[in-house]
């Protein structure tokens, strides 16, 4: 005859606090990955890879922010390996702006005119950097070479140009 439950509490091995935090963050990691691969099956597989790589290395007692940062750093590494194998390039050759190379339909006449009005209001350097980056699809390195500057200076100039363009009244 089976024994009656005794009501005794049994301690089971439990996950560490760090793993509990990481499990809570995996949904955000999945969203991050899905936004970059656009495919549910791949995003799920890559999220599992992140968990398998990151969980054994989590430090017990680490703050939630460092666990989150480690998960996202691991996710970027996993994404790099994924796109490297998918595109047949080494990870060193992958550029951030590959994600921007999404083919789109032709722009409408109205949007072209509006962009031209905004660009006309900018200084020559700001207009040139935005034209090269977004209208001609140049990488930061290519823009830097074209404008005889450094990549860092082009990044700063692009940010300032975008801010200046946002302040322009396109209808006036």
User: For position 83, what pLDDT does the model report?
Assistant: 82
User: Over the stretch 100-116, which tens digit does the pLDDT of each residue have?
Assistant: 454 455 667 777 788 88
User: Over the stretch 80-107, which tens digit does the pLDDT of each residue have?
Assistant: 888 888 777 666 655 554 544 544 556 6
User: For position 25, what pLDDT does the model report?
Assistant: 86
Q: Closest by alpha carbon to 71, among 45, 52, 85?
A: 52
User: For position 94, what pLDDT does the model report?
Assistant: 56
Contact 126, 154 (CB under 8 A): no
User: Over the stretch 15-70, which tens digit does the pLDDT of each residue have?
Assistant: 578 788 888 888 989 999 998 888 899 999 999 999 999 888 888 888 888 888 89
User: Over the stretch 113-169, which tens digit does the pLDDT of each residue have?
Assistant: 888 888 899 999 999 998 888 888 888 888 999 999 998 999 999 989 988 988 888
**Cα(126)–Cα(119) distance, rounded to whole angstroms?**
8
**Cα(12)–Cα(60) distance, rounded to whole angstroms?**
18
Q: Closest by alpha carbon to 126, among 99, 166, 94, 91?
A: 166
According to DSSP, residue 9 is labeled -
Tokens describing residue 130: 């935005």
Predicted TM-score (pTM) of the model is 0.47
- Residue linked to tokens 């970027």: 76
């Amino acid at each position: 005859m089976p024994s009656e439950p005794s009501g005794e509490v049994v301690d089971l091995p439990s996950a560490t606090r760090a793993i509990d935090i990481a499990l809570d963050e995996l949904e955000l990691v999945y969203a991050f990955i899905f936004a970059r691969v656009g495919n549910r099956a791949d995003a799920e597989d890559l999220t599992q890879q992140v968990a398998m790589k990151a969980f054994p290395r989590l430090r017990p007692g680490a703050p939630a922010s460092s666990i989150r940062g480690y998960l996202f750093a691991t996710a970027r590494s996993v994404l790099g390996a994924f796109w490297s194998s998918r595109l047949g390039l080494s990870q060193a050759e992958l550029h951030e702006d590959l994600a921007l190379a999404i083919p789109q339909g032709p722009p409408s006449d109205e949007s072209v005119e509006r962009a031209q009005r905004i660009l006309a209001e900018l200084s020559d350097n700001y207009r040139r950097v935005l034209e090269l980056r977004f209208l001609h699809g140049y990488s930061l390195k290519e823009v830097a070479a074209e404008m005889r500057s450094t990549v860092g200076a082009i990044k700063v100039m692009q940010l300032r140009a975008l801010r200046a363009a946002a302040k322009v009244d396109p209808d006036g």
